[in-house]
Amino acid sequence: MTRQTSGWGFAVESFDLADNGSIPNNPHLPALIYRSVLAEPGDPAAFERLFASHGWSGSWRNGIYAFHHYHSTAHEVLGIAAGKAMVQLGGENGTVVPIGPGDVILIPAGVGHRNVSSTPDFLVVGAYPAGQEPDLRRGEPGERPQVLANIRQVPLPGSDPVAGADGPLVRRWFSRSHSG
């Protein structure tokens, strides 16, 4: 994990996650966590408006599944509107990170994630880049050839869901996808 304070008013943490055999993760794109994006979390509509203003749609409100899963057909953003959780990124033996109100997690297609534990008031707002629809994958052996093909086909989003056209996602994901 690398952590940097950004010029956007929030810290950015970056996680490079290797294929673990069942969860492919993403060889080119790191998972990103933005800390304390919203100064006053608690209003899920604030995340919905923020994400929509940067072209991320299909928003929903809920939690994070307690089982390892990933999406092979879409990238995903999760805004923590309330509560706290420990989230595991990368599948079994992956990295466990604390998240709390106002934080945002950007999950590239293929990256495993699950809720390890959370407070009773835990509430997430999720969304996807315009035009992307998520599937739900659990790392089953028979799905692997198709999901690897799917992940390679998922286009980069047009903008960062929090900071727009010049946000951390754009800078980190675009530079990574063009370098390898």
**Predicted local confidence at residue 3, as pLDDT:** 57
User: Is this structure's pTM higher than 0.85?
Assistant: yes
Taking only the tens place, the pLDDT of each residue in 112-153 is: 999 999 999 999 999 999 999 999 999 998 999 999 999 999
- 4: pLDDT strictly greater than 70: no
175: confidence class by pLDDT, cuts 50, 70, 90: confident
180: confidence class by pLDDT, cuts 50, 70, 90: very low
Domains of the chain by range and CATH?
A: 2-173 (2.60.120)
Alpha-carbon gap, residue 139 to 68, rounded angstroms: 8
Of 85, 84, 89, 99, the C-alpha closest to 68 is: 89
Q: What's the whole-number mean pLDDT along residues 26-49?
A: 93
SS3 (DSSP) at 173: helix
Instruction: Read off the DSSP letter of residue 24.
Output: -
